[in-house]
A and B are shown apart, each in its own frame.
Chain A
Amino acid sequence: KVLTQSPGTLSLSPGERATLSCRASQSVSSSNLAWYQQKPGQAPSLLIYAASSRATGIPDRFSGSGSGTDFTLTISRLEPEDSAVYYCQQYGSSPITFGQGTRLEIK
């Protein structure tokens, strides 16, 4: 199951809203889709699971939506520390797959 993320790179200013897309080649069962944030030199960290549930400690500026083949991660009120690569992942069918990532740059 291939996941395609867009855009490849996003450059926005603090306070703006970021909209990241993840499209699956086949329907993702039971909305088994997650989003991760990876900052340079760090391990990924879980932001969203089950398409729209925030992981523990994740601020409500981060929200996930979507179902079937189209999913979105929205980050409102961007802050400088949101600069990172964001990956979507489907875990509903094997093999588990990740998107190629979207690089978010904060100007």
Chain B
Amino acid sequence: EVQLVQSGAEVKKPGEFLRISCKGSGYNFTSFWITWVRQMPGKGLEWMGKIDPSDGYSNYSPSFHGHVTISVDKSITTVYLQWSSLKASDTAIYYCARLVGGYSRAAFDIWGQGTFITATS
């Protein structure tokens, strides 16, 4: 079964470091781009950025560039989303998803279950 499994919920303080993960299985991991999407409480979907697991090349939305980092560890088929310094406004559910067909411009066909991040003092 093709799936993306994300790490569990986190409660952190503003200013702290955080890294969450997304592990792919059931398919050729390096053949499909992975993306991250934010959903703030009660709000819609926002695209953050994407990464090519084959070489680690990443592309970010201007809204998130410089605030988050997307990385990959091919050896364990896992993509990461990290913050060096969280803000309270980072409180949200974060989803990883796979791009259709291995293309860099494609819809998102497989989604992780979501990771709920709470940043509060």
Contacts and interface: CB of A to CB of B under 8 A. Distances in A.
Nearest to A33: B107
Chain B interface: which size bin? 20 to 34
Interface in B86-118: 95, 100, 105-109, 111-114
Contacts of A99: 44
A91 interface: yes
A49 interface: yes
B66 interface: no
Contacts of A97: 47
Contact of B44 (A43, A49, A101): A101
A95 B111 contact: no
Chain A interface: which size bin? 20 to 34
B107 A89 contact: yes
B46 interface: yes
B121 interface: no
Contacts of A46: 100, 107-109
Dominant secondary structure at the A interface: loop
B60 to A, nearest CB: 8
B95 A100 contact: no
B75 interface: no
A96 B61 contact: yes
B45 interface: yes
Contact of A98 (B45, B59, B106): B45
B111 A91 contact: no
Interface string A27-44: 000001010101000011
Contacts of A50: 107
Nearest to B108: A46
A87 interface: yes
15 contacts: A32-B105, A43-B111, A43-B113, A44-B37, A44-B45, A44-B111, A46-B107, A56-B109, A87-B45, A91-B105, A91-B107, A92-B105, A97-B47, A98-B45, A98-B46
